[in-house]
Structure 1
């Protein structure tokens, strides 16, 4: 994999683009409004970027049994990867409007599909513009001629039916949602409030700073203080991560890699899948 951190500063992306380096750039902006992703793309995108609608292109069909953003069908993902122009010899750079949540989802899904050289633009479009990058308007790039072949399962995952055994074996299960959702004070998206019994809460926001991510050693220290990594903490391969539906959790896993702690398993279905089955237990409070 090219470089340790999954995050790429905007000035480095701009410098590579200015040098004329070949790469694939994917815009994965999303907002909770019909056609918002497309509207945002045609009004303001990095020149040469391909459009990705995350809910449709980076996820399978939602259901109570699989969650709100389950893993995509590999054959369907193959179609989109070809349209985005993803090829083995080209680095892939993904970005969104700046929070990096949907860019991280794109990063993780592409890594799961076997793409190795893929990075998240730190700070998204605002950081690109602050670095001096131009933005384009209009339809832009609709279809590439990618030659990459999907190899699904290239990132570690954990299935919903494995969670109980995982926790019972003494491994760490991390819920990266905000504290209010974790303790069950509120639940704006899913059928039940609370968290998976045995999970600990480490909100993904604790791994970030305004406009991006702190230095790797800072993120590593924050994780170590919460029991992940270090001499006395849980090694990353014994950590499983979930959020509401595999978006915030993808960003948390990216932050772990940024800190030099790769290998965490991803419960992609997350709380939306767990809570969708009324027979599964729910914990409330801290």
Structure 2
């Protein structure tokens, strides 16, 4: 059992009034692919949130490709979906938790701890033969109120001035970390002193947690006083934050702007 994951069977067994389901499917290469997939078929009763429109803020010269969204705007959007305080939220994607983990982190950052990620994503739900449709659900507005935790986020300046014993974790693929390739950002490489733990290793190709393989890799870091995590734009770093939380370190901090913010100053 894990604290933040739920199986398709366990989700299917929950009464509808006890949970809000949110589809987070997305593609960086084709930004409407996730919404199109949702409109074609999704878990019955699920709502859709878009990475660029709902789970990110307005881009600027600095701050990264996916800056954190405005808290009040996201609060209002979640209320529209019918979210009430203390109600369980189940989030899913079909990209090995890459985007579901972003909403998982945002909800907890905004003070809503009752959130789980569907293990295996939409594919696992379909393979289990559970209910799907293409109907946009209508919900009574909820009473969720955000209570942000700004201490969960670090800025470029805080990364620069981090303590000597702080561990900075780069969540990108090894080739990007090593500067061998950079398909998205204008500068290749990594922040000096960062260690590399690619986010993809948290799950298998089916999007299921490989806990017995992932937990040992964190052991060398769990005793560190402070952990900071980044990726390309603050999205897939949340998969590592999920893994760390499952390992008992739910105090790891997100460099929200990540490499896309860092290299905008180079």
TM-score by length of 1: 0.87
* 1:7 maps to 2:5: yes
Contact 1:65 1:276 in 2 (8 A): yes
State the SS of the aligned residue for 1:240. Answer: strand
Cα RMSD (Å): 1.8
Q: Where does residue 263 of structure 1 map in the other structure?
A: 251
Q: Where does residue 236 of structure 2 map in the other structure?
A: 248
Write out aligned runs for 1:152-231 (5 A): 152-153=148-149, 156-166=152-162, 168-211=163-206, 212-215=208-211, 217-224=212-219, 227-229=220-222
* 1:272 maps to 2:265: no
Q: Quote how far apart the aligned CAs of 1:34 are.
A: 4.6
Contact 1:49 1:141 in 2 (8 A): yes
Q: Where does residue 112 of structure 2 map in the other structure?
A: 115
Contact 2:63 2:257 in 1 (8 A): yes
Contact 2:8 2:118 in 1 (8 A): yes
Q: Residues 64-106 of structure 1: CA distance to partner in whole angstroms, max 9, x if unpaired?
A: 3110011111121122111121111311000112421100001
Q: Where does residue 29 of structure 1 map in the other structure?
A: 25
Contact 1:207 1:222 in 2 (8 A): no
Contact 1:30 1:37 in 2 (8 A): yes
Structure 2 unaligned segments of length 5 or more: list them.
none
Which stretch shows the higher mean deviation, 248-257 or 74-83? 74-83
Contact 1:156 1:266 in 2 (8 A): yes
Q: Quote how far apart the aligned CAs of 1:152 are.
A: 1.7
Of 76, 97, 105 in structure 2, the residue corresponding to residue 79 of structure 1 is: 76
2: distance between equivalents of 1:102 and 1:4? 19
Q: Residues 103-152 of structure 1: CA distance to partner in whole angstroms, max 9, x if unpaired?
A: 000111111111110011111101112223121114x1255412101112
Which stretch shows the higher mean deviation, 255-264 or 243-252? 255-264
1: distance between equivalents of 2:150 and 2:82? 20
Of 134, 137, 150 in structure 1, the residue corresponding to residue 134 of structure 2 is: 137
Q: Quote how far apart the aligned CAs of 1:63 are.
A: 2.5
Question: What is the number of residues matched between the two proteins?
Answer: 264
Q: Where does residue 147 of structure 2 map in the other structure?
A: 151
TM-score by length of 2: 0.93
2: distance between equivalents of 1:5 and 1:22? 17
Contact 1:30 1:36 in 2 (8 A): yes
1: distance between equivalents of 2:83 and 2:94? 21
2: distance between equivalents of 1:15 and 1:198? 46
Q: Residues 23-55 of structure 1: CA distance to partner in whole angstroms, max 9, x if unpaired?
A: 111111112325323211110110111111111
State the SS of the aligned residue for 2:168. Answer: strand
Shift in alpha-carbon separation, 1:85–1:154, aligned structure 2, 3 A: farther
